[in-house]
Amino acid sequence: MNLFLIIVNIVAMLVLMGILYYMQKKHVSFSKRVFTALGLGVLFGAILQFFHAPSSDIIKTSNDWFSLIGSGYVKLLQMVVMPLILVSIISAFTKLKFSNNLGKISGLIIGILIATTAISAGIAIATSIGFDLKAVDIQAGEVETARGEALETRLKDVESKTLPQQVLEVIPTNPFLDLTGQRPTSTIAVVIFAAFIGVALLGIKRKNPEQAEFFIKMVDAFYAIVMRIVTLVLRLTPYGVLALMTKMVSSSNIDSILKLGNFVLASYVALIAVFIVHLLIIALVGLNPITFVKKALPTLTFAFTSRTSAGSIPLNIDAQTKRLGVSEGIANFSASFGASIGQNGCAGVYPAMLAVMIAPTVGIDPLSVEFIFTLIAVVAVSSFGVAGVGGGATFAALIVLSTMNLPVALAGLLITVEPLIDMGRTAVNVSGSMTAGVVSSKVLGELDTETYNDKNTEAVSI
């Protein structure tokens, strides 16, 4: 291993970070800095891969150092997720923004998430058939076989819980445990716990206004501190995107991507189609979809590079409230629910495509009407149940494939391109949650249309 080359790579990363810092000092907009970081990350990652093999020790060690910036930034975002959700929802109750519409808001958001996931499944089925994707056409090596065996092992954990048991997992048993994020359903559990506190506060406000006012002052102070922490963390976004994108591009196996190019292409065609559906839904409620794209793009860019829906929650909420005019309560509900329920990319597109690819291997015609409608129904229902077993594309695929009586091991054939596809899936997940928030806010008459249409909020400088 050449230590000199590793030092050169680290110095180059520091120089690129210096460029981003200079742009910040010159008050270049947040959006432009994020996209500049994305471009620099792709370019630097490509240069590294040109001079070194993706599996080389130089790339691995360099990326290990880059992770201090990229993964460190993601961890900081994850650090503020739970406090942000808790205090923002309680704060929304103190301002009486949606106390009478709690059930309507949560029902509408979850309904939109599940409905768009069903639509995503339909799009994935059509795309898979159009591209003639078949699992039998993919060669299985040692890595793919090992991945398949691991999936079969994990399937046993998934099958051990029924759908009602999975749904029960979202109910908080120990809210302090959920505030640490130790359970797969912690984000939703914290939302529920915060809502209970808010409802209790409304009751106390009627019976003992003095105690309620004291609590409200405490919440307001805590809210101000948490939002300041969020702002400080979000300022690091361009640096995090730069490091994450560099690591992704430099470590990608181009040969494997080319071998599965048809599946990668089909996946992104489906994901882009789902994103267009989001824009059509926004247009149907009387909003400009182009405005949505401009204001949501920095958040979607981070989701794309980081591959974490949960880690995107702070950016998601910030974009919805400050740029899209969504109320704090609805933004928190949609961002939190969207990170675990009805994920359009991970729980919609991915498992549906796998099912269509694998079906012919067990003698099932993927073109049959019965198979298609059953698959869409299973995907829609399981997109809610996924929250009870940890979320993510793998669990969604396991639930759908096992329910459809399809072999799960064949899903391991795609492990080499999994990171590349997961980037697009995560961005679509976050887009779906933002769409649910904007549409729900508009339908319920709580959207600040002036903020939504204000072009000055397109380039918020953080």
pLDDT digits (tens, 9 = 90+) for 145-173: 555 555 656 555 555 666 677 677 778 88
Nearest to 105 by CA among 257, 291, 330: 330
Give the pLDDT of residue 66: 93
Confidence (pTM): 0.81
Angle at 75 between CA 73 and CA 81, to 5 degrees: 110
Query: Could you tell me what percent of the chain has a pLDDT over 70?
Result: 86
pLDDT digits (tens, 9 = 90+) for 247-270: 888 887 776 666 677 888 999 999
pLDDT of residue 49 exceeding 80, the answer is yes
pLDDT of residue 389 exceeding 70, the answer is no
Question: For 14-41, what is the mean pLDDT?
Answer: 90
Q: Domain boundaries in the chain? A: 3-457
Give the pLDDT of residue 437: 94
- Alpha-carbon span 87 to 99, nearest angstrom: 15
Q: What superfamily in CATH does domain 3-457 come from? A: Sodium:dicarboxylate symporter (1.10.3860.10)
- Alpha-carbon span 280 to 274, nearest angstrom: 10
Structure tokens at 334: 């949609």
Confidence of residue 277 (pLDDT cuts 50, 70, 90): very high
Segment of 94-98, 206-210, 290-294 carrying the highest mean pLDDT:
290-294
Confidence of residue 40 (pLDDT cuts 50, 70, 90): very high
Q: 267 near 349, Cβ under 8 Å?
A: yes
Q: 172 near 189, Cβ under 8 Å?
A: yes
Residue with the bigger pLDDT between 58 and 167: it is: 58
Nearest to 299 by CA among 108, 119, 456, 460: 460
pLDDT digits (tens, 9 = 90+) for 292-334: 999 999 899 888 888 888 778 888 988 999 999 998 888 888 8
Nearest to 163 by CA among 410, 402, 428: 402
Structure tokens at 70: 């990229």
Q: 291 near 452, Cβ under 8 Å?
A: yes
- Out of 14-23, 80-89, 391-400, least confident range: 391-400
Residue with the bigger pLDDT between 301 and 435: it is: 435
Scanning 95-236, the segments in alpha helix (DSSP H) are 102-130, 142-159, 163-168, 175-179, 186-207, 209-234
The total number of residues written for the chain in this structure: 462
Mean of pLDDT over the chain: 84
Confidence of residue 461 (pLDDT cuts 50, 70, 90): very low
Residue 406 backbone dihedrals phi, psi, to 5 degrees: -110, 145
- DSSP-assigned letter for residue 347: I
- Alpha-carbon span 447 to 325, nearest angstrom: 6
Q: Given the structure tokens 């942000």, which residue do they identify?
A: 84
pLDDT of residue 374 exceeding 90, the answer is yes
Confidence of residue 462 (pLDDT cuts 50, 70, 90): low
Give the pLDDT of residue 459: 46
Q: 97 near 447, Cβ under 8 Å?
A: no
- Alpha-carbon span 219 to 20, nearest angstrom: 35
